[in-house]
Amino acid sequence: MDDIDNQNLELQLMLEAIHLKYGYDFRNYAKASVKRRIQHRMTKEKMANFSEMQHKLLYDVSFFERLLLDLSINVTEMFRDPTFYMALRKFVIPELRKHPFIKIWHAGCSTGEEVYSMAILLKEEGLYDQTQIYATDMNEVALKKAKDGIFDIGKLKQYTKNYQKSGGQSAFSDYYSAHYEHVVVDKSLKKNILFSDHNLATDGVFGEMNLILCRNVLIYFNRDLQNRVVGLFYDSLCPDGILCLGSKESLSFSKYTNAFDDVVKEEKIYRRLDSELI
């Protein structure tokens, strides 16, 4: 067995240990991504190998919490991919208007930028007061930031640009207040958002959702876990419910290909079908 095989075995054992000790399941995440993030933490902590790291994570909870931040994916921004939000306004909002009450699930919401983007869009379309948004993530640190709704003022220029390109109907400054190095989202955007812990790898369905957004999360999972999660979304959507994935994601090679129809193919927006072909 060569060094690469040994490393892969050590990585597999470490992911198994994390699952057994802490209940977080990274065993079906894409191995290259997980390995890269673990090696980053190993370098930061000046560790020699996976075995040394495994011993530390089993006996040092604070070390595991640092590693968890590395393993959890937190790449996001307000109105990320503006053309996607334009498509939401044009093709999804008319569908949501058909419902007296709207339920939306943001799965893998990270630090909340895209959740608040959706809240702004719904407010501008006159639908926010009849909507409940469930925003979930497995990373408690990210969830805390999302609940606080406090963002780095240095990112504001890009966020404003994204908002304007997405078809924003007001001044973006209407939705936040500036405080020194940070901006705080307006309280009115928080009132219909429920933030909660949820692990896509292990936890169950959110029932009867009209819209589910899970953008740029599936790319970090292997094929088996992707199928599990898409199945979870299928079971969580009401008939004709809408699923939105990220720009680099697709249902094309999923076992659920025939369970969804394209709404806006290029923006990865799909409609749930009552399929007997799954």
Q: What is the arithmetic mean of pLDDT over 144-164?
A: 94
pLDDT over threshold 90, residue 1? no
Give the model's pLDDT for residue 276: 55
Confidence band, pLDDT 50/70/90 cuts, at residue 208? very high
- Model's pTM, two decimal places? 0.84
What's the whole-number average pLDDT of the chain?
90
DSSP 7-40: HHHHHHHHHHHHHHHH----TTB-HHHHHHHHHH
Rounded CA gap, 146 and 190, in Å?
Answer: 10
pLDDT over threshold 60, residue 262? yes
pLDDT over threshold 60, residue 277? no
Provide the 3-class DSSP secondary structure of residue 270: strand
Burial 29-60 (b: 16+ CB within 10 A, else e): bbeebbeebbbebbeeeebeebeebbeebbee
Which CATH number is correct for 82-272, 3.30.470.20, 3.40.50.1000, 3.40.50.150, 3.30.230.80? Answer: 3.40.50.150
Q: Do 261 and 237 meet the contact criterion of CB atoms below 8 Å apart?
A: no
Q: What is the arithmetic mean of pLDDT over 86-90?
A: 97
Give the model's pLDDT for residue 142: 87
Confidence band, pLDDT 50/70/90 cuts, at residue 269? very high
DSSP 152-182: EGGGHHHHHHHHHHTT--S-GGGGEEEETTE
Give the model's pLDDT for residue 189: 96
- % of the chain at pLDDT higher than 70: 96
CA distance between the termini of the chain: 40
Give the model's pLDDT for residue 275: 62
Q: pLDDT tens across 92-126, in order?
A: 999 999 999 999 999 999 999 999 999 999 999 99
The domain ranges of the chain are: 3-71, 82-272
277 or 88, greater pLDDT: 88
- The pair of three-digit structure tokens given for residue 18, joined into one six-digit string: 């994390």
